[in-house]
Each structure stands twice: as C-alpha cells, then as structure tokens.
Structure 1
Amino acid sequence: MAREKIIIEDINITLERKNIKNMYLRVLPPNGEVKVSAPLFVSDKDIIDFVRLRKEWIMSKQKLILENKIQSPLKYADGEKHMLWAKEYTLKLVSKNDLKEALVDWENKIIYLPVPSRSKRETREKQLYELYRKELKRAIPPVLEKCVKIVGQRPSEVKVRNMKNWGNCRLQDRRVTLNLKLAKKDPECLEYVMIHELCHLIEFNHGKKFKRLMDIYCPNWKEIKKRLNE
C-alpha cells in the first residue's frame, strides 16, 4: 500500500493506493480529515475528477463534524486518551500476568489496562468500564449522603450499570440506577444526577413542579446538565 498527501480543489487529502477494485472517500472526525482509497491502476486524473465531483459533499461533511465536535470512534488502544473524573488519562496496555485489574496512576495520569496481547476492542472497553464501575461505586456513598440531606429523600438502593441515560429512578421500589460513565465526568455531575433522581421520589414527571424542586435543591442544575451532555 502506498500513501501520500495531496491537495485537490484546496482540500488536503490522504491518498492510499491499494489492491482494490473501486475508489472510496471518507471524511473523518474529529478534524474532518479526507481519505481517499484508490486502486493501483487508477490514474491521477481519475482521482482528481473523483474528488472534484464530491467537493460539495466533502465540505458539507467537514462542516457537520467541526460544528458538532464529532469525535473519532474510540479504539481503547495503547496511548489513546480517556477521561476519568473530567481529567484526561493515557491508556497503557499491560500483560494480564503483570496486572489483574485496571489501575490508575493518578500522578502521571495513566490508566493501566490488563489485557491479552492480541485483545479485541470489546475486551479493552470492558476492562475500562469495570474501572469506571469501581470508581463510581467508591464515589457514591459520600455523594449519596450529601444529596439525601439536601433533598430529604433516601433511595432503597443505588445501582451502577452501563446504560443510555445518566440515571433513572424506579418509584415502585425507590431504586436509583446510575450510568457507570458518570466516572468520566466532573464529580459535580454525579451530584446533579443524584439530586435529579432523588427529586423523582417526590415528583416522577419532568414538569414544572419537578423543575422547581431542581431549582431549590440544585440551583445551577441547568449549567451542570449542559456540561454533562457535552
């Protein structure tokens, strides 16, 4: 495979010539990088024409990526950056023989993941998520007690799992469940979500009454919610 950098119509392009049959074009996050894969036999003119015909689409895609701050899919690879309590840490993959579970070097901002030498992405992701789970469980007890005093409501239990929402509350058994990925966010976000779910023990819906409760118990909740969802 041959790779080179070229410019077509003022667009910076990474061109890869491969043993393939057709040409392909991709615009990638987070900076809108343009990559073109072309068969070995295709001429420079054909590549230029291929890009020119798609210039408008390329510009539109780049604008979408940059304006929405779309990030590249995570690979959980060695050297990749990941967030823990709103701070950036570098992943370091190590042998399972040297380490039994994920470990954080807080001073040097490194997360060590024990994974097989030829591990799959899913395996690495699972190891990191288990670290998030452990960190969140460690952080919950003092936050729970603080928020119970604020709201005046106590859940029957607080569970942690990977889910789409940041949290949910079951009125039937007063159980609160929190998203383990809260461990990636500022600790203030954990307090906000906890207060949010405890308020549901008073008012289940998100109507005016619920919002008044949030205004009382977490005056800056709108600003925290915005940061949480960024």
Structure 2
Amino acid sequence: MGKEIISIEGITITLYRKNIKNMYLRVLPPNGEVKVSAPLFVSDGEIIEFIRLRKDWILEKQKLISQNKIKAPLKYVNGETHYLWGKEYTLQLIKNNVKNVLVDEEKSIIYLPVPKRSTIEKRKNILDEFYREELKKAIPPVLDKCTRIVGRTPTSVTVRKMKNWGNCKKDGRITLNLNLAKKDEEFLEYVMIHELCHLIEFNHGKNFKKLMDKFCPNWKKIKKIGKQ
C-alpha cells in the first residue's frame, strides 16, 4: 500500500493507493483531515477530478467539524486523554494481571488493565465499568444533598449508558448516564436536581425552569459548561 501527501484544488490530501476496486473519501475529526483511498490502476488525473467534483462537500464537512469541535473517536490507546470528575488524565495500558483500573492523581494517569490483543470495544467496556462504579460511589452523598434541596426523593437511582445525561420516570425512578463520572461533580449535582425537579413538574416548561432557578440558580451556566 502506497501513501503520499498531495494538494488538489488547495486541499491537502493523504492518498493511499490500494488493491481495491473503487475510490473512497473521508474527512476526519478533529482537524478535518482528508483521506482518499484509490485503486492502483487509477490515474492521477482521475483522482484530481474525483476531488474537484467533491470540493464543496469537503469544505462544508471541514467547516462542520471545526464549528462543532467534533472530536476523533477514542481508540483507548497509550497517551490518549480521558477524563475523571472533570480532570484530564493520560491513559496508560497495563497487563491485566492487575484486575482494577488504577488512578494516579499526582501524575494524572489512568492505568487501564487489558488482555493481549484487546479490541477497542473491549478496552472501552473495561473503562466504562470503571466509570459506572465511580458514579455509583458518588451518588449517595450527592443524592442526599439534592433531595434536601428539592424536597423530593426518588424511588430508585440507577446507572447505565444512555444518550441523555439523565431521565426520570413518573413512578420516581431516576437513571443517570455513567459518563457523568467524566464531568465535574457540580455537573452531577445539576443533573440530579434537574431529575428531582421532574418529580414536581414532569416537563420542561416555565414552572420547571422556575424550580431550577430556585434550587440551582446557576444551572444554565453549569449546563453550558457540561456540553464542552
């Protein structure tokens, strides 16, 4: 497989020549890198025309990545940045004769025990379980504090993977996203208060916002920071 860096129509391209049948184009986060895979038999002229016809799409994709600060997918490899309670850590893989994820606060390193030839999915699952346990340990004191603030108590609080930061059922069950363990504890308190307020007002209307203003006066600022 051959690799070269070329410029076409002012766009820098990483070109890979492979034993394939068709050309493929990718624009990747976080910096909008453009990669093209082309069959060995395709001429330079055909590659230039391929990019020229897609120039507007490439530029739009790069703009979208830049404006939305889209990050590259995590690979769970040495040196990668991960977060725990709002703090940055460097990931370091270690042999899985150590059973638990270890955290060095002083050096800001998360040591992730993994088996040989582990997949990205396997490494992700190991770290996710660590986050799940961290959040479970953090919930009791935060829940106690927030129930005293709001004056409502849930029937249960569980942790799982989910798209939203949290949700609340009408029967009082609250579910929290395990990724909250990556955020500052203040954000966890905001989410907890948010869900507890749903035990009073089961919507996001004016009355709900008034409750949030009362029980978590700076909630809008915290919510904005949490999206970063």
| TM norm structure 2 | 0.94
Match of 2:178 among 157, 174, 180: 180
Q: Aligned pair 1:55/2:51, yes or no?
A: no
Post-superposition CA distance 1:126-161 (Å, at most 9, x none):
111111111112222221222122112222332211
Unaligned runs of 5+ in 2: none
1:45: how far off? 2.1
Q: Secondary structure in 2 aligned to 1:50?
A: helix
RMSD: 1.5
- Moved >3 Å (runs of 4+): none
Deviation at 1:41, TM superposition (A): 2.5
SS of residue paired to 2:76: coil
What letter corresponds to residue 36 of structure 2 in structure 1? V
Indicate if the aligned counterparts of 1:167 and 1:177 stay in contact, CA closer than 8 A.
yes
Measure the CA separation in 1 of the matches of 2:170 and 2:23. 55
Q: Assess if the C-alpha contact under 8 Å between 1:15 and 1:38 holds in 2.
A: yes
Letter in 1 for 2:18: K
- Per the TM alignment, residue 193 of structure 1 is displaced from its structure 2 partner at its CA by 0.5
Counterpart of 1:181 in 2: which secondary structure? helix
Within 5 Å, give how 1:12-161 maps onto structure 2.
Answer: 12-97=12-97, 99-161=98-160
CA–CA separation in structure 2 for the residues paired with 1:32 and 1:158: 40
Match of 1:225 in 2: 223
Deviations 1:160-199 (A, max 9, x none): 1111221122332x23221110011121110100111111
Helix, strand or coil: the match of 1:34? strand
Whole-angstrom CA distance in 1 between matches of 2:40 and 2:138: 55
SS in structure 2 of the partner of residue 155 of structure 1:
coil
User: Given that residues 101 and 127 in structure 1 are in contact (C-alpha distance below 8 angstroms), is that contact kept between their aligned partners in structure 2?
Assistant: no
Q: Which residue of 2 aligns with 1:189?
A: 187
* Amino acid corresponding to residue 196 of structure 1 in structure 2: H
Q: Distance in 2 between matches of 1:175 and 1:39?
A: 55
Give the Å deviation of 1:229. 2.7
In 2, Cα distance between equivalents of 1:30 and 1:77: 17
Q: Is the 8 A contact 1:195 1:218 kept in 2?
A: yes
- The number of residue pairs the alignment matches comes to 228
Q: In structure 2, the residue corresponding to 1:158 is in which secondary structure? A: strand
- How far apart, in 1, do the equivalents of 2:51 and 2:200 lie? 58
The within-5 A match list for 1:200-215 is 200-215=198-213
How far has the Cα of 1:44 moved from its partner? Answer: 2.0
For residues 69-91 of structure 1, what are the alpha-carbon distances to aligned partners after superposition, in whole Å with 9 as ceiling and x for unaligned?
11222222232221222222222
CA distance in 2, matches of 1:40, 1:130: 44
